[in-house]
Amino acid sequence: MACHDQVKRSGRGPKLILSALVAVLLCLIPWSGTAVAHGSVVDPASRNYGCWLRWGSDFQNPAMAQEDPMCWQAWQDNPNAMWNWNGLYRNGSAGDFEAVVPDGQLCSGGRTEGGRYNSLDAVGPWKTSSIADDFTVHLHDQASHGADYFLVYVTRQGYDPTTQPLTWDDLQLVARTGRYAPSQNYLIDVNTSGYSGRHVLYTIWQASHMDQTYFLCSDVDFG
């Protein structure tokens, strides 16, 4: 049902007027953001995708502030970072990623999209996904862009994402792939050793349809 139809049918009277106002407010919330098809790492979940999974249907719950404080600050900063969990990309990087994404801004892709994703650079105890030395990165590509390649990094042992901003020097390359044909799901097998505890998994996806690059932070724990 279209938004104007919801309001039109709400009728009159205090309760019905309140219903109409609620309908208008719901129409203003960008529920359709995820329909603007791009993609992200869904396992281990990227920061904003994880926040959307855990709180997308309950994002106004004040309990989030205590239970999931990093997601809480992200929702307060810009809810569209979660509704548009698949839109964290930059165009025209020409492969020179360190030039366009400064230290401390890796998780927001260099404050891309007008700063929509700035909250993802916040330092603190983001929720982690448990992984083993050998794991698989699953990236969901709603638009079937394909990939020229993927680069997968893990932060060096000793780096503490709860107290330190992420820099390029903190990253160690653990996988580089070749091309992937257009599809909606890509699986990247990663083999590591020597990692323990909390880390940031950093995935760079160079899409094939144009010079479009995705910069994706996932918080992990090598159990």
Residue 30's pLDDT is: 40
Q: What domains appear along the chain, each with residue ranges and CATH number? A: 1-35 (no CATH), 37-222 (2.70.50.50)
User: Per-residue pLDDT for 39 more than 90?
Assistant: yes
Instruction: State how far the Cα of 17 lies from the Cα of 12, in Å rounded to an integer.
Output: 6
Count of CB atoms within 10 A of residue 53's CB? 15
User: Per-residue pLDDT for 14 more than 50?
Assistant: no
The least confident of 33-47, 77-91, 99-113, 151-165 is: 33-47
Residue 223's pLDDT is: 84
Query: Longest Cα pair distance anywhere in the chain, in angstroms?
Result: 67
Residue 106's pLDDT is: 98
pTM: 0.84
Express as a percent the part of the chain with pLDDT over 70.
83
Q: Amino acid identity of 26?
A: L
Query: What is the average per-residue pLDDT within 190-195?
Result: 97
